[in-house]
């Protein structure tokens, strides 16, 4: 699958979260044929330094910073951040917002397109076919689909806004014309990964599944003999405090610990093995065949009704 200038061998994208995608994670994902989006919760200078440090060799082919993706916002310093990252060689830009169906996102896409032509724009998040088509029509090359399903997202409990990611992905896949569908949020196991691809996602974004790996930012913490790493939502108290430099007025993200999982290779190998096995059950050699051969069965439950 082509993800802008990158050819993905594994349809996995690392979420641009402060405890998931730093430069080391981007390098590790590229090494297994996946992609990372360098998070924006840092100074422009630090993000540029991270982008410039992603210089590696994978399968005999040299991957330079143009193959790196990076996140920017749609307000504040995003003009300066975009220009600095582009100068550093970044060509894949993720407009990182919780609500992609917003005029600020439209304005940001237009502004970026007016600066340069050789960029690949990822926008979102959305959870409906209408919002997906709106972003596609306004110039998004890929759209993150999924709202409130993440393990450290509290949008569902704080706002009441929620659509199950599998349904949102299926709905968006029905109307897509050219933009990629990136399933984002609620992926806990290889089974989730397989189902989202079968429902029409072109790629799947992982957050908590990668947060506990050695390559994720942050230190390993030992608690009662078990190893953990910190995992924080983008709208959590500490991320807002660190990035905004002041007391947050509103918190819509959780902070937790995730079990230490070893290396990125360990995680991605498990997900790839699960997908291969699932495809074999469906007599599929390609993702196109896989989607064509899969059939979903929905179970309905009526409260208070018993068989008899």
> Which alpha helices (H) appear in the chain, and where do they start and end?
23-31, 44-53, 78-87, 103-115, 129-137, 155-159, 165-175, 190-198, 208-211, 237-244, 264-281, 287-293
Catalytic residue among 21, 26, 112, 153: 153
Is 153 assigned a catalytic role? yes
Q: Beta strand 226-232 with 255-259: parallel, antiparallel or unpaired?
A: antiparallel
Q: Both tokens of residue 157?
A: 């409990």
Identify whether the C-beta of residue 22 lies closer than 8 Å to the C-beta of residue 4: no
296: exposed, middle or buried (C-beta count within 10 Å: 0-12, 13-18, 19+)? exposed
138: exposed, middle or buried (C-beta count within 10 Å: 0-12, 13-18, 19+)? middle
How far is the first Cα of the chain from the last one, in angstroms, to the nearest whole number? 51
Distance separating alpha carbons of residues 271 and 289, to the nearest angstrom: 19
Q: Beta strand 35-38 with 221-223: parallel, antiparallel or unpaired?
A: unpaired
Distance separating alpha carbons of residues 256 and 233, to the nearest angstrom: 9
Helix orientation angle between 78-87 and 103-115, rounded to the nearest 10 degrees: 40
Catalytic residues: 153
């Amino acid at each position: 699958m082509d993800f802008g200038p990158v050819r993905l061998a594994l349809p996995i994208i690392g979420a641009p979260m402060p405890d998931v995608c730093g430069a080391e994670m981007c390098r590790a994902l590229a090494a297994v044929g996946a992609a990372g989006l360098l998070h924006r919760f840092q100074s422009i200078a630090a993000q540029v330094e991270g982008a410039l440090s992603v210089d590696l060799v994978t399968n005999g082919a040299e991957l330079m910073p143009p193959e790196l993706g990076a996140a920017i916002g749609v307000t504040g310093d995003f003009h300066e951040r975009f220009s600095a990252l582009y100068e550093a060689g970044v060509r894949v830009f993720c407009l990182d917002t919780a609500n992609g169906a917003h005029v600020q996102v439209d304005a940001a896409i237009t502004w970026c397109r007016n600066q340069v032509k050789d960029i690949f724009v990822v926008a979102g998040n959305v959870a409906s076919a209408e919002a997906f088509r709106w972003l596609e029509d306004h110039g998004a090359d890929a759209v993150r689909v999924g709202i409130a399903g993440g393990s450290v997202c509290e949008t569902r409990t704080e706002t009441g806004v929620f659509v199950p990611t599998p349904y949102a992905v299926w709905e968006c896949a029905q109307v897509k014309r050219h933009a990629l569908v990136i399933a984002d949020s609620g992926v806990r196991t290889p089974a989730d990964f397989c189902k989202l691809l079968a429902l029409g996602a072109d790629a799947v974004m992982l957050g908590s599944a990668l947060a506990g790996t050695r390559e994720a930012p942050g230190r390993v913490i030992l608690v009662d003999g078990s190893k953990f790493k910190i995992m924080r939502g983008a709208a959590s108290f500490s991320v807002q405090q660190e990035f905004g430099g002041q007391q947050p007025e509103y918190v819509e993200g959780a902070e937790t610990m995730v079990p230490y999982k070893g290396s990125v290779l360990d995680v991605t190998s498990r997900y790839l093995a699960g997908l291969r096995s699932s495809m074999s059950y469906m007599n599929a050699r390609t993702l196109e065949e896989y989607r064509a051969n899969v059939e979903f069965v929905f179970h309905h439950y009526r409260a208070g009704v018993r068989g008899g």
